[in-house]
Structure 1
Amino acid sequence: MGYKVIVDAQKCIGDGECVDVCPVEVYALRDGKAVVVNMEECLGCESCVEVCDQDAIVVEEE
């Protein structure tokens, strides 16, 4: 079982909180926005969702 991670680029302000909090480096900052670079590593902990004040991240069970 894996997780699907979606970042809404319209909402993302690129503060990097999700990049910093993710224990398995799912995210990277590119062009001032967070992007998913290692979705297969996602543990489903939703730490990224909790730190994103813009509600730009969704983690769904696949």
Structure 2
Amino acid sequence: MGYKIIVDIDKCVGDGECVDVCPVEVYELKDGKAVATNMDECLGCESCVEVCEQDAIVVEEK
């Protein structure tokens, strides 16, 4: 089992909250937007979803 992370770049404001809160460093900021560069490390905790005020992140089970 794993997780698929979808970041809506149109909604993302690049504040880096998801980068800061993720316990396994799934995210990086690239060109001012969050990118799930280490998706295979995702634990499915959804901390990123909770801190994203723009609702730009969705975490789904694969």
RMSD value, Cα? 0.3
Q: Give me the whole-angstrom Cα distance separating, in 1, the residues matched to 2:13 and 2:2.
A: 27
Letter in 2 for 1:44: G
The alignment's TM-score, normalised by the length of structure 2, stands at: 0.99
Structure 1 unaligned regions, length at least 5: none
Q: Give me the whole-angstrom Cα distance separating, in 2, the residues matched to 1:37 and 1:48.
A: 14
Q: Which runs of 4+ in 1 moved over 3 A?
A: none
Q: Identity of counterpart residues, as a percentage?
A: 82
Aligned length: 62
